[in-house]
Structure 1
Amino acid sequence: MSWRIVYISEAEEMRLYLDNLKVIKDDQEILIPLSDIHSIVVDNQHTTVTGRLINKLSEYHILLIFCDETHNPNMFCLGLYSHYRIYGMLYKQYVEKNRTNKNL
C-alpha cells in the first residue's frame, strides 16, 4: 500500500530505475520504490520527467502533480484506469482547505 507523498523542489531529473523513482540533483541520486509512493508533487519548472517514468507511474496508480511559478498546483497526471477514490480524496482535501481558510 502506498503512503509516501514525494515533494520535488530542486531536482534536475526524475527517471525510472528498476521499478524505483530515481531523483537526480547535481551528483546526488535518490531511489524510492514506486510501491511506496502515493503522489509526487513537482514544484520546479526545470525538472525533467521521462516518458518511461510517467507510463510506470500510471501502472502503479501514482498521482503526479506539477506546480506553476507561484507554487500552486497547475496540472496533474493520473492513468486512465486509476481508482476513482483519488479524485474524491483530492476534492475533499480541497473543499476542507477552503472551508478552513474562510473561517480565519
Structure 2
Amino acid sequence: MSWRTIVITKRAKLDLQLGFMVVRGEDTTKVALNEIAVVLIESTAVSLTTSLLAELTKRKVKVIFCDEKRNPSSELVSYYGSHDTSNKIRK
C-alpha cells in the first residue's frame, strides 16, 4: 500500500536500485517504491533515470514536476492500467 509523499526541494539525483528509489543529494536516502504514492519535484536541479520513471509509472506513482518558481507545471501519467486509457490519450 502506498502512502508516502516524497518532496524533492534541493539538487539531487534520483535513481532505481533493487526496488528502492535512491535520492542522492547532501545525504543518500533509500525509499521503498511500494510505499510511495506521490513524488513532488520542486527543484529544476534534479536529474532522474528513465529506469526509475518507468518503474514509478508501472506502480502508478504520480510524479509532479515544478517550474523554477516552484509552481506545478506537469505530471507523469501512465497510459495503461485504467479503464479509461483511450479517453486519457485522446484528451
Give the TM-score normalised by structure 1.
0.75
C-alpha distance in 1, partners of 2:24/2:16? 11
Distance between the aligned counterparts of 2:22 and 2:11, measured in 1? 10
1:40-89 Cα distance to aligned partner (Å, 9 max, x none): 000001100100000000111001100011111001002112447xxxxx
More strand per residue: 2
- The runs of 5 or more residues in structure 1 that have no matched partner are 85-104
Instruction: Select the structure with the greater relative contact order (CA < 8 A; seq sep ≥ 6).
Output: 2
RMSD between aligned alpha carbons?
A: 1.3
From the superposition, tell whether residues 82 and 65 of structure 1 become closer, same or farther in structure 2 (CA, over 3 Å). farther
Instruction: Encode CA deviations 1:12-41: one digit per residue, 9 max, x unaligned.
Output: 200001111100003x21000000000000
For residues 67 and 13 of structure 2, the distance between their equivalents in structure 1, rounded to whole angstroms, comes to: 17
1:38 aligns with 2:61: no
- Partner in structure 1 of residue 54 of structure 2: 55
**Greater C-alpha Rg:** 1
In 1: Cα distance, 2:4 partner to 2:12 partner: 20
Percent of pairs with identical residues: 25
Q: Give TM-score scaled by structure 2 length.
A: 0.85
Greater fraction of residues in helix: 1
